A and B are shown apart, each in its own frame.
Chain A
């Protein structure tokens, strides 16, 4: 009897703490949405109200009129898609070579390549910028995407996946006279869909949320990605908060929506980098 009550109280306390944390975690998003639905001057009152006095979408209209957010969105989609596709391509090939093909110096090359994961992006950004400028690619999609078309993390992830899958099917295909690249295309890739989805989602989110590189590599308004467009919007002395919240809602809705639909995949792909430990 006593023990059961104790367990109940313990459970209640846990729920209470979790609910308090839940409010803190969700409040900024709720505040963002509620503010975006208010009139421009409604937020400038000392008597704060949670709900808009009258729901209005004028903030969204102003956001879309003031800045080409649709263009920003298109740029983000395009840039993230190019980077993701290229990463999948280069990572499958590299991961396959490191996992399945025997060549001299394989382990050393792999070790050097994944060591590069320790180099922070900021240590490379100045020479990369100078290179892109010398190629004449500042303010282009090529300039936005080139440095990210391949990377050690993708190769590492695909190699781990290939090493954890049995080789018997591939060996059978080789005995049947397939070349290694044919084996890769016809046998290995169709069996790698979970790993490809994980890597694709991870890469897409990184590219979508990346800020520093697009900030320095774009000049014209029309080449900005969503993150750059959002960040540069917030420079007025008298900010139009409902408009800015509306723009932020527009920019975050696709990712949050996708996350809510495929939470498991998102969480797995983001936590996957922890696996190597």
Chain B
């Protein structure tokens, strides 16, 4: 009996090893090895075009911190994140609360709001570039009808980053909205009914019932939105190329340029690790924040 049981265990272990093999191979080759190799590379001068490499210690990181373009990229990424996440979440929550009423055409609204989410970033960025075109684009044409001369949205350093922020809010609105809608539908109706009996106003209901009970979905949306915002790349590549005058230079675009246009792989790896560390710390912080307050 005992022998048979240990046999069973062995059989399960062997099957498990076999079943995990494909995932394990891909994980080792394309996650585990790269994450440490990029740390290793960040201490070297490595070029994509020559095979020579030299150890430079912390020099890449030191150069990075002093580099004004990188500083600008960090600042712009922070501004972008602060522009996209709070406004985006508030608008999504607003739309979700409205759609949580019993309405005709509810499905239609939900579908329309969600369509940008399934469309590729590259495609919508091209459409928005055309809408924001200064002379013949839709936005400035409409503005001129009410007597406003619109700026060169993507060519004016003042307006380029706000334009990209606007696109990103538009594109992600539906995603967070659906998450909030699911959360809202989990809130039992009778809580609201008893609040109504107690004479609560709609604003009070929202602040004292809806918001606390949505803490989970709100925390999730905040974390995902911040992480996505720190990785912004596609819309920058398509709409501005980091310009004008680095006004839309962000961390990942900087990484891309250093690695794949200037071939400075060691230096770019240092950028990658700074990004990784920042995302890691922020995730832990946000997790603690929302977990602790939720408990």
- Residues on A close to B: CB < 8 A? 11, 14-15, 17-18, 21-22, 24-29, 31-32, 35, 43-46, 48, 86, 89-91, 93-94, 96-97, 101-104, 106, 109, 113, 116, 118-131, 146-147, 149-152, 155, 179-181, 184, 205, 208-209, 211-212, 215-216, 226-227, 230-231, 234, 239, 241, 244-245, 248, 251-252, 255-256, 259-260, 263, 266-267, 270-271, 273-274, 277
Contact = CB atoms under 8 A, between A and B. Distances in A.
Give 7 nearest A-B pairs by CB, closest first.
A48-B141, A127-B34, A150-B26, A123-B276, A127-B37, A93-B19, A124-B34
Contacts of A14: 98, 101, 103
A177 B88 CA distance: 55
A274 B217 contact: yes
Interface residues of B, number: 94
A264 to B, nearest CB: 9
Interface stretch (B60-68, B172-180, B204-212): B172-180
Contacts of A128: 30, 34
Contacts of B7: none
A72 to B, nearest CB: 12
Interface in B39-79: 41
A135 B135 CA distance: 48
Interface of B: 9, 11-13, 15-20, 22-23, 25-27, 29-35, 37-38, 41, 95, 98-99, 101, 103, 107, 109-124, 126-131, 133, 135-136, 138, 141-142, 170, 173-175, 178-179, 182, 216-217, 219-221, 224, 227, 230-231, 233-234, 237-238, 252, 255-256, 259-260, 265, 268-269, 272-273, 275-276, 279-280, 283
Given A94-B23, A120-B279, A227-B122, A46 B136 contact: yes
A256 B126 CA distance: 16
Given A123-B38, A128-B34, A25 B178 contact: no
Given A27-B138, A120-B276, A129-B260, 12 more contacts: A14-B103, A28-B131, A48-B136, A90-B26, A101-B15, A104-B13, A124-B272, A180-B12, A209-B120, A245-B127, A270-B118, A277-B217
